[in-house]
Every structure is written in C-alpha cells, then in structure tokens.
Amino acid sequence: MPEQRDLVFPPGSLVLVAGLPGAGKSTLLRRLYGLTDTETEPVPAGGAVVIDSTQARNWWSPYLRPLPPRGRIPFVYATHVWRIGKALTDGRSVVAHTRGTWPHLLYGFGWLARRSGAGLHLVLLDVPPALARAGQHERGRVLTGPVFARHVRRWRKLVRRAHAGSLPPVASVTVLHREDADQVRDIKFG
C-alpha cells in the first residue's frame, strides 16, 4: 500500500488536477478541502484558492436552466477559466480542476501562469477508462461513447507525453493512479 504524502509546490503556483471525466478529480478536491459540490465561488483553503468547475456550474445553474446541458458548457468553462486567471493575477496559489484532454486549455493555462509569474504544475489522475466510466455513472453525468472515446485517446497521448518529459509549458508533472491519489494527504505551497 502506498504511503500517505503531501504534494508540495512553490507559492503562487497553478496546480491543475487533470484526468478523464469521472476519474476522481472532484472527489480528490472534496476530500482534501471539504468541498460539498454546492459551492458557487472558489474556496480559500490553506493559503490557496480551490477552483472546481462545479462551482461555476452551480453559479450559472439558475440562469441557464432553459439550455440543454451541452449549451451550458461554454458559459461554465469560460467562468471557470476566468476565475483561475483572476486568482493567479491576484498572486494567489491555485488548485484547480481540469479535464486535461483539451490540449489548447493546457497551453492556455501555461501561458496564463507564465504571464502571472507562476509555474504550472500538473497532477494527472491516471485511471483506467472503465473506472472513469463508472465514475461518470456514479455522478449521473455520462458522456456519449464517441465523446468519451475521444477523451480517452487525448488522455493517453497526454500521459505518454508526461512520461516522456515532453509536456511544455509545465514546471512539473505528477502522475497518480487511483491508489496513489487516495494516499495524498494535502496539497501545500511553500
């Protein structure tokens, strides 16, 4: 069994917790920071700010009810990215949730982190696709087969590049399997 451990990053860093949809990113953030999935704003915790896309989804929920779920995505993710950018430009350390399967977002976050004088650090939750699929069913938000297959292809490419050390513009990459993620005790800055 892996030992419990803390993940430690320099102050002012952007730490992105990435993984397939359903991999356990929000579950990890809930466990570490006591999130309840009812928050509508980023949560200050331990000198950092914790930003999950669920917060933006909850904030927009009363206004976007008439739209189908796919129609809400641009509003939710634009708000999510804006909140991360705002926290970074305010000089905050940030722990944020992201899928990691949209390469343009990783490059965008890298640019944003550099512009703010911060380092971008990835924590990749690498779980088997079947486990991520089960996580989608558990949370009640299941992607269609073709959409999920596209995420899996992109994710596998990202993890291969991480193991090969070819993921610009990141300062560090930590790849965690589910049992490793379960042993993370804290994400610290300093």
Say if pTM beats, i.e. exceeds, 0.95.
no
User: CA 129, CA 147: separation in Å to the nearest integer?
Assistant: 13
Structure tokens at 139: 């949370």
Provide the strand spans (E) within the chain.
Answer: 5-9, 14-19, 43-45, 48-51, 93-98, 120-125, 172-176, 184-189
* 131-163 b/e (C-beta count within 10 Å ≥ 16 → b): ebbebbeeeeeebeeeebeebbebbeebbeebe
Give yes or no for a contact between 72 and 79, defined as CB atoms under 8 angstroms apart: no
pLDDT per position as a tens digit, 40-95? 999 999 889 999 999 999 999 999 988 988 899 899 999 999 999 999 999 999 99
The per-residue pLDDT for range 85-142, each reduced to its tens digit, is: 999 999 999 999 987 777 788 888 888 898 888 899 999 999 999 999 988 888 887 8
Q: How far apart are CA 24 and CA 17, in angstroms?
A: 10
Instruction: Return d(Cα 162, Cα 96) in angstroms, integer.
Output: 19
Question: What is the SS3 assignment for 59?
Answer: helix
